[in-house]
Amino acid sequence: MEITDLKCALIGDNPIVRVLTDEGLDGFGEVESSKPYLKPHVLFYRDLILGLDPTDVESVMLRIRKLGSFKPWGSAVSAIEMALWDIAGKAAGVPVYKLLGGKVRDRVRVYNGSVRFHMQGYEPEHFADVMAKMKARPEKFSLIKQGISFHSRMPQDRPEFFGFDARPGARHFARGPLNERGLKHIVACVEAMKAVLGDEVGLALDCGPGWMMPDAIRLARALEPLNIAWLEDMLTGDYTPYVMADMYRELTRSTTTPIHTGEQIYLRHHFKELFEKQAVRIVGPDPCDVGGIAELKWVAEYADLHGIMMAPHGTNDGVLGLAALVQVAATLPENYIAFEYPIGKPDWWYEIVTGLPDPIVVDSHITVWDRPGMGVELVPEAAEPYLAPEDAGFFTW
């Protein structure tokens, strides 16, 4: 079998990768909707993989893996990798998890991810209201993650809590010291959320990046009595092209509250120092950024050897990334906590694919399906109306 073409198209706002073969099999991968500009970057790899056997996934990846980079550029490599696994599973007639070593769990636990409610404000009562709505969701999430401080609009809407003027910039554009009022306010908001969730539902906090080290230590210690599941990306994070293991180690050693990072990291190599220095307690690589699902599995196994837990990040706004997460999460070692559950946005995503269970999430878990490949298929005639005009030939051979 040989790769005959590599295509990338926008379906809605989502860049979708398609790898074609000379035997009539194709595979799909996904880039999250916030990265529509990556289409030319995906196609950069086309000539490098033409003629190769897509079922020799690692051999193909050796041609392109070193040509990627930190978030967002690793998304192109990651999406191609997932499309290759999709083909390999279809060719073998087995689900992808069989090719990754087989499943060790029949259901995979998820947390709320892109299931969100609009914040009416950033007072404790607003956070409590959102938690009540989330707790009542039919998915019955056993773990909920909420953005606070720098992973919210607090720096813009309540700058008096931070002691500095928020600067415009890229994705997460505020960084600076808190004042005493700011720290107390954030703690009060977390206390309000835990009062709603109790010990029935865990609470994880997406915090940044943006924290200065003294403030990060103070918050982590202040929250110790609340048994927070983790504090995520306090020092680095989204669109931060470096790891800062020494700083994370200092933060981790200062508190019993678990410290988490990793969704921005590309390739296993950049997790090595985090693990060997015991710099974090939990990592959350995204299969759509880390280099693909086999790369994520390698990171999970190496983390497990160092006593570090695994809670993979989930790409938003599409269900092809969800399928990949289900396949790889089924194979991860016992350090697996849950992955961040992505949903189809807009809702018509559920009308252009087949293979998803209904309902998808039951009691905070997804049952692992057994169809070949990723087990979720795009329906060309249903998806074509959502293609950008320049991508009209995406589903042709």
- The CA distances from residue 296 to 10, 156, 311, 312, 337, in Å, are 25, 34, 11, 8, 14
Residue 84: band (very low, low, confident or very high) from pLDDT cuts 50, 70, 90: very high
Of the pLDDT bands very low, low, confident and very high (cuts 50, 70, 90), residue 335 is very high
Q: How many CB atoms lie within 10 A of CB 358?
A: 5
| pLDDT value for 303 | 98
pLDDT of residue 1: 98
Q: Is the pLDDT of residue 356 over 70?
A: yes
Residue 317 pLDDT = 64
Measured N-to-C along each axis, helices 74-92 and 57-64 cross at an angle, to the nearest 10 degrees, of: 160
Q: Which of 21-30, 32-41, 371-380 has the lowest mean pLDDT?
A: 32-41
Residue 170 has pLDDT above 60, yes or no: no
Cβ pair 174, 162 in contact under 8 A:
yes
Which residue has tokens 């993650």? 145
At residue 36 the predicted structure's pLDDT band, cuts being 50, 70 and 90, is confident
By DSSP bridging, strand 377-378 and strand 353-354 are antiparallel
In the chain, ranges of CATH 3.30.390.10 domains = 3-93+379-391
Averaged pLDDT of the chain = 95
- What pLDDT is attached to residue 169? 58
Which of these ranges, 215-224, 288-297, 384-393, has the smallest mean pLDDT? 384-393
Q: Are the C-beta atoms of residues 374 and 349 closer than 8 Å to each other?
A: no
- Mean pLDDT over 260-276 rounds to 97
27-52: average pLDDT = 92
Share of the chain above pLDDT 70, in %: 98
* CATH-assigned architecture of domain 98-374: Alpha-Beta Barrel (3.20)
Q: pTM of the prediction?
A: 0.96
Among 5-9, 171-175, 235-239, 262-266, whose mean pLDDT is lowest?
171-175
Stronger pLDDT, 158 or 125, i.e. the higher one: 125
- Indicate where the chain has its CATH 3.20.20.120 domain(s): 98-374
- Specify which residues 111 forms β-bridges with: 340
What count of Cα atoms within 13 Å lies in the side-chain half-sphere of residue 11?
35
Query: Which range has the worst mean pLDDT, 40-44, 100-104, 155-159, 212-216?
Result: 155-159
Q: State the greatest distance between any 2 C-alpha atoms of the chain, in Å, as a whole number.
A: 65
Architecture of domain 3-93+379-391: 2-Layer Sandwich (3.30)
pLDDT of residue 193 exceeding 90, the answer is: yes
Band the pLDDT of 175: cuts 50, 70, 90: confident
Predicted pLDDT of residue 171: 62
Kindly tell me if the per-residue pLDDT of 316 is higher than 70. no
Predicted confidence band at 322 (pLDDT cuts at 50, 70, 90)? very high
What does the pLDDT average to over 302-328? 93
Identify the weakest region by mean pLDDT among 21-35, 43-57, 301-315, 371-385.
21-35
Please tell me the predicted confidence (pLDDT) of residue 47: 98
267 — alpha (psi -120 to 50), left (phi > 0) or beta?
left
Q: Find the mean pLDDT for residues 282-300.
A: 97
